[in-house]
C-alpha cells in the first residue's frame, strides 16, 4: 500500500533500508528483485524508500531471493508485520547493536537534531574519554563491552561530521550536567572545552538551562528530537534496557513544546558559552593546583 509522507513509519523505513542492503548484496537491481515476486521495479523502490508498506508475503519472497534465512529472516518478517504501527519500543531482547543501528539510521536522515540532557553531556557532544569514564563509573555497561559502546558513540558523531551537509544540532543542557564531574577534573575540563569548540561551529548551538531553583520542562528526563526533510519528526528516548521511538504527532508535539520551554529558560548562546568557559577555568585551576574535586550546587561550591 502506497502511503503519504506523513503516513510513513520508522519501522517501514528501517525495513526498506534493510531490504535495499540485502538486494545490493545479492547483486540484483530493482527490476530483477521485482520479477522474483511479480512486482514492478517502482514498487520495490517505494518499499525500499519506506514509502509503501510491504506485505509479509512480499518480504518473504524477497528474502528468499536474497538468500536470507534464520533469525535475520524472522526479524525482518516481524518488522514487516508491524511496519504500519507508529512508535517503536525496542526491548532488551533486541541486541544493543540493533538499537544503535536504528538511532544511527534516524540521525543519518536528519536535517535538525535537538538533544536535551539533565544529568550528563548529550552523547553526540561527548568526548571519547568522557564517554568511557561515564560508562565505567556508572556501571551500567559491562566492562568487556565498554570499548565497543564507546566506539559506537564516536562512530555516530563521525558519521554526522562526514556528511556533505551536516544537520543543524542544538544541545540543551541542564546546569547540573556542566557541574557533574565525570572522569575527574582533567577529563571533565577537556569535555567542557570540547563543548566550547562545538559552539563555534556554524551549524551547532549549545544552550545551558540555569539552576534557578524552579522546575522546568525537562525534569522528566532527556530526549532527542529528530527532524527530517522527508517524513515527520520523531523522538528518540533511551534507557538502560530499551529504547523508544515516538512517532505520534500529539506526543511529538509535546516534546517540541518542552524543547521550546527549555530554550525560553536557557541562557543565550553567548552567555551559555561564557558560563561553560568559567566552569572550565575553575576546573583547570583545580587541576594545576592539585585540588580535590568539590561538590558544586548551582554556582556555589560547597
Domain coordinates in residue numbering, the chain: 10-81, 88-301
**Domain 10-81 of CATH type 1.10.260.40:** yes
CATH of 88-301, one of 1.25.40, 1.10.10, 3.40.1350, 3.30.870: 3.30.870
Q: What pLDDT digit, counting tens, does each position of 218-238 carry?
A: 888 899 999 988 778 899 998
Mean pLDDT of 233-255: 85
- Name 112's bridge partners: 168, 227
What is the reported pLDDT for 47?
Answer: 92
Question: What mean pLDDT comes out for the span 169-188?
Answer: 95
Give me the pLDDT at residue 289, please.
52
Average pLDDT for the chain: 85
Phi, psi angles (nearest 5°) of residue 286: -65, -35
pLDDT in tens, 139-162: 988 899 999 999 999 999 999 998
Q: What is the DSSP letter of 2?
A: B
Mean of the pLDDT values across residues 13-19?
Answer: 87
C-alpha pair distances (Å), 190 with each of 80, 114, 221: 45, 23, 25
Give yes or no for residue 189 having a pLDDT over 90. Answer: yes
Largest CA distance in the chain: 74
Give pTM, 2 decimals.
0.74
Amino acid at each position: 500500500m502506497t502511503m503519504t509522507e506523513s503516513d510513513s513509519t520508522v519501522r517501514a523505513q528501517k525495513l526498506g533500508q534493510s531490504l535495499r542492503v540485502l538486494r545490493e548484496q545479492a547483486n540484483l537491481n530493482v527490476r530483477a528483485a521485482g520479477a522474483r515476486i511479480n512486482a514492478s521495479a517502482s514498487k520495490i523502490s517505494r518499499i525500499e524508500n519506506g514509502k509503501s508498506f510491504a506485505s509479509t508475503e512480499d518480504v518473504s519472497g524477497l528474502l528468499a531471493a536474497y538468500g536470507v534465512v534464520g533469525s535475520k529472516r524472522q526479524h525482518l518478517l516481524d518488522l514487516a508485520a508491524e511496519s504500519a504501527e507508529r512508535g517503536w519500543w525496542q526491548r532488551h531482547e533486541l541486541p544493543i547493536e540493533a538499537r544503535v543501528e536504528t538511532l544511527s539510521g534516524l540521525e543519518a536522515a536528519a536535517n535538525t537534531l535537538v538533544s536535551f540532557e539533565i544529568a550528563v553531556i548529550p552523547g553526540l557532544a561527548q568526548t571519547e574519554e568522557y564517554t568511557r569514564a561515564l560508562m565505567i563509573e556508572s556501571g551500567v555497561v559491562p566492562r568487556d563491552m565498554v570499548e565497543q559502546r564507546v566506539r559506537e558513540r564516536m562512530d555516530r558523531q563521525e558519521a554526522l561530521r562526514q556528511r556533505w551537509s551536516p544537520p543543524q544540532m542544538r544541545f540543551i543542557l541542564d546546569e547540573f550536567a556542566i557541574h557533574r564531574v565525570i572522569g575527574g577534573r582533567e577529563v571533565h575540563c577537556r569535555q567542557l572545552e570540547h563543548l566550547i569548540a562545538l559552539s563555534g561551529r556554524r551549524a551547532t548551538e549549545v544552550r545551558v538551562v540555569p539552576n534557578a531553583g524552579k522546575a522546568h520542562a525537562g525534569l522528566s528526563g532527556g530526549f532527542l528530537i529528530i527532524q527530517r526533510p522527508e517524513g515527520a519528526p520523531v523522538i528518540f528516548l533511551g534507557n538502560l534496557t530499551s529504547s523508544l521511538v515516538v512517532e505520534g504527532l500529539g506526543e511529538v508535539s509535546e516534546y517540541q513544546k518542552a524543547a521550546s520551554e527549555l530554550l525560553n529558560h536557557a541562557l543565550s548562546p553567548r552567555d551559555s558559552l561564557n558560563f561553560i568557559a568559567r566552569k572550565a577555568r575553575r576546573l583547570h585551576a583545580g587541576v594545576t593546583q592539585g585540588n580535590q574535586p568539590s561538590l558544586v550546587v548551582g554556582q556555589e561550591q560547597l
